[in-house]
């Protein structure tokens, strides 16, 4: 059964990757742009999913880390740096700031931690808006170049989509390794019961800080990709509403599930575009669908799929006493 499920998972991943490769072919620039946005926000949601879904630490500051990554990359590329050199510096900065933001999580939990991260998001927004000498203030920054790799140029929307898809695949593989490493098991133990995890030898202090730092770095990577995608950034693009939007992606897709961020970002980014044929009613329909899903399926779309699978193909329960009796023979 395990082998079959593992094989089905690999087949599903291959099909989804093939669909992602084929999806923009023959589409216009706008559809390709929307698909690229889905990939970028999937990366940001992946980072928040690690912090919230795996480690159980509430954060409302993911958009602020996108801002740090975006502005760092933008300022350096405008100064003549190549994107490949500017992006890692943005990630390192986000990782360091994420470590610092993780310290309040060592003392406060739940809604109090949410308020701390909310205050940080507001602080970053105010700095970006008021420090015009560095960030351009409300006028923002414009004209950031897209990366050029000699034989492969990303100026065309389709080319930049495939560039972003490659980064997303790499980031996904890195996250896959993290959640299946001893760190990943420690993250889950921290989420389920911090006291028990500490009694089992888990350094909860280090793991909490690490969850914030890695999740923040993923937000910075998403910001570094937003910069050349839109080639214009301003503080309003990274306000609280966008942090809540990323949080919605994680919750809708399925918090604590690896593929949850991709499904959640697909719903939040792509579903409004699908519903545009309803004209003025598409936001009402979209909001109603999200509310109904969160009320009846709080575990998200991945959780809904799991419940349907259990009903259609229930696992066979093996009695423990029978197993012990068979072992004794």
Higher pLDDT, 325 or 213: 213
Reference 56, options 245, 202, 164; nearest CA is: 202
pLDDT of residue 169: 95
DSSP string, 281-302: GHHHHHHHHHHHHHHH-TTHHH
pLDDT of residue 69: 96
Q: How far apart are CA 221 and CA 243, in angstroms?
A: 15
H or E segment and range at residue 142: strand 141-142
Q: How far apart are CA 61 and CA 325, in angstroms?
A: 54
Residue 167 has a CB neighbour count (10 Å cut-off) of 18
Give yes or no for residue 5 having a pLDDT over 70.
Answer: no
Q: What is the rounded average pLDDT for all residues in the chain?
A: 86
Reference 208, options 112, 103, 111; nearest CA is: 103
Whole-structure pTM over 0.85, yes or no?
yes
The 10s digit of each residue's pLDDT in 58-116 is 899 999 999 999 999 999 999 999 999 999 999 999 999 999 998 887 788 778 888 99
Read off the tokens for 128. 């970006």
């Amino acid at each position: 059964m395990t082998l079959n499920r593992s094989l089905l998972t690999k087949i599903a991943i291959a099909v989804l990757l093939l669909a992602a490769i084929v999806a923009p072919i023959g589409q216009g620039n706008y559809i390709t742009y929307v698909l690229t946005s889905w990939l970028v926000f999937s990366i940001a949601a992946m980072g928040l999913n690690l912090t919230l879904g795996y480690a159980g630490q509430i954060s409302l500051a993911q958009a602020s880390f996108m801002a740090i990554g975006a502005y760092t990359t933008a300022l350096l590329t405008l100064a003549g740096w190549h994107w490949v050199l500017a992006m890692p510096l943005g990630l390192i900065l986000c990782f360091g700031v994420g470590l610092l933001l993780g310290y309040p999580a060592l003392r406060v939990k739940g809604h109090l931690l949410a308020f701390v991260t909310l205050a940080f998001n507001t602080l970053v927004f105010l700095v970006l808006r008021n420090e015009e000498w560095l960030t351009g203030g409300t006028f923002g920054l414009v004209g950031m170049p897209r990366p050029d790799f000699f034989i492969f140029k990303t100026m065309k929307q389709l080319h930049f989509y495939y560039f972003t898809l490659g980064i997303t695949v790499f980031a996904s593989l890195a996250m896959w390794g993290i959640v299946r490493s001893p760190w990943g098991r420690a993250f889950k133990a921290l989420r389920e019961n911090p006291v028990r995890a500490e009694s089992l030898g888990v350094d909860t202090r280090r793991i909490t800080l690490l969850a914030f730092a890695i999740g923040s770095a993923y937000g910075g990577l998403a910001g570094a990709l937003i910069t050349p995608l839109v080639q214009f950034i301003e503080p309003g693009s990274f306000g609280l509403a966008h942090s809540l939007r990323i949080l919605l992606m994680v919750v809708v897709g399925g918090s604590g599930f690896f593929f949850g961020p991709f499904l959640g970002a697909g719903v939040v980014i792509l579903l409004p575009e699908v519903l545009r044929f309803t004209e003025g009613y598409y936001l009402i329909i979209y909001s109603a669908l999200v509310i109904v899903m969160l009320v009846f399926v709080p575990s998200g779309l991945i959780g809904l799929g799991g419940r349907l699978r259990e009903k259609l193909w229930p696992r066979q329960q093996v009695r423990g006493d029978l197993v012990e009796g068979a072992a004794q023979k």
